[in-house]
Amino acid sequence: MSDLLGVAVLGAGHMGADHIRRLDQVVSGARVAAVADPDTARAKEAVGGIDGVTVHAEAEAALDAGGVDAVLVASPGPAHEEALLAAFARGLPVLCEKPMVPDAAGALRVVEAEARLGRRLAQIGFMRRYDTEYRRLKALLDTGRLGRPLMLHCTHRNVASPPDFTSAMLVNSSVSHEIDAARWLLGEELTAVRVLRPRSSGGAPAGLVDPQFALFETERGALVDVEVFVNCGFGYQVRCEAVCEAGSARIGEDHGLRVARAGEDRTEVPQDYLVRFADAYDREVQAWVDATRQGRVTGPTAWDGYAVSAVAEAGVGSLETGERVGVELGPRPALYRA
């Protein structure tokens, strides 16, 4: 490895392009070495004027390019399993965007492949664990000062969904963040889920079930509810309130500038996750680069990625039937036991 960690970025769409910029301009200790995207014009545009980056149509060609020490996967979820297994086969550390693999069986194959290696190579991109507010909430809950958490009330709103967004993706792409955050905040697995369908908004594309309301049960008896509304039209809002035995704590309230003037008091609402979670992405990628350069792997594991996919898959099943669906996780390999 040269002084800088050479990163191959797979996928140069919204997240990939933002991570390329981040690796080039924000994060220290790394450089973009290669980029792969079947849309090579998009990849070239994302690379812009960065020197010494090779552009490839195929992911594996980027992994095999000169100067590549590690991989950042930002292709669509269905492409992640192949990318992770290809990185593992080459012994390359990898930061993989969520969902790790959208289907639980594929996610379990990734867990099993990493367990066979006998060492961790993957960090999964649940960036909320690096957000200052989420970290403060987690630290507070861990002190026990509020007593046991009993319920989490969560809100997840996007201005508009991308054109190819499906009703299942409200659960396995959007709510996957709340599933990971709830497991992390509460320190326990989610064991059952019910997803309800309020009437759909006229602002949602035809056929999209939006909003949805998910209710999760945890193994020690807490409840987590999530309103997810990906075509709310007005802004990006992610909120979480923990209700505990001796108090409650809430995050995600005011993020923008608040201006009082001429008889009104208005607060800006961020328009997307790249703004609301900008600092979290920066810290996430910096932590990954730092750990990787030291030969360590930290952050959310492939097991976290699998557990989230299993819960999300149960949620999609519930969305389809309206029934409560239980979650059965496979055995947790020793690699992922604390």
When asked if residue 212 is in the footprint of ligand ISE (CB under 6 A), the reply is no
Considering the complex, state which of residue 13 and residue 330 has its C-beta at the smaller distance from ligand NAI.
13
Binding partner selected for residue 11 from ligand NAI, ligand ISE, none, CB under the kind-specific 5 to 8 Å limit: ligand NAI
Residue 84 CB, shortest distance to ligand NAI, in Å, is 12
Which residue, judged by CB position, is nearest to ligand ISE in the bound state? 174
Work out which of 123, 167, 172, 174 binds ligand ISE, going by CB under 6 A: 174
Residue 335 CB, shortest distance to ligand ISE, in Å, is 26
Binding partner selected for residue 16 from ligand NAI, ligand ISE, none, CB under the kind-specific 5 to 8 Å limit: ligand NAI
Considering the complex, state which of residue 7 and residue 222 has its C-beta at the smaller distance from ligand NAI.
7
Determine the Cα–Cα distance for residues 285 and 9; give it in Å rounded to an integer.
Answer: 12
Considering the complex, state which of residue 123 and residue 158 has its C-beta at the smaller distance from ligand ISE.
158
Determine the Cα–Cα distance for residues 314 and 324; give it in Å rounded to an integer.
Answer: 9
Determine the Cα–Cα distance for residues 9 and 37; give it in Å rounded to an integer.
Answer: 9
Considering the complex, state which of residue 270 and residue 333 has its C-beta at the smaller distance from ligand ISE.
270
For β-strands 94-97 and 70-73, DSSP reports them as: parallel
Q: Which residues of 290-310 are buried (b: 16+ CB within 10 A; e: fewer)?
A: bbbbeeebebbbbbbbbbbbb
Binding partner selected for residue 174 from ligand ISE, ligand NAI, none, CB under the kind-specific 5 to 8 Å limit: ligand ISE
Residue 271: count of CB within 10 angstroms of its CB: 15
Determine the Cα–Cα distance for residues 179 and 30; give it in Å rounded to an integer.
Answer: 30
Residue 156 CB, shortest distance to ligand ISE, in Å, is 6
Binding partner selected for residue 158 from ligand NAI, ligand ISE, none, CB under the kind-specific 5 to 8 Å limit: ligand ISE
When asked if residue 318 is in the footprint of ligand ISE (CB under 6 A), the reply is no
Token pair for residue 220? 């020690």
> How many whole angstroms from its chain centre is CA 238?
13
List all residues 6 or more positions away from 245 whose beta carbon is below 8 Å from its beta carbon.
146, 147, 148, 150
Closest-CA residue to 107 (of 122, 89, 119, 90): 122
Paired with 238 in beta bridges are 156
Which residue, judged by CB position, is nearest to ligand NAI in the bound state? 13
In the window 259-278, what residues touch ligand ISE (CB under 6 A)?
Answer: 273
Binding site for ligand NAI (CB under 6 A): 10-16, 36-39, 42, 59, 74-77, 79, 97-98, 125, 127, 173, 273
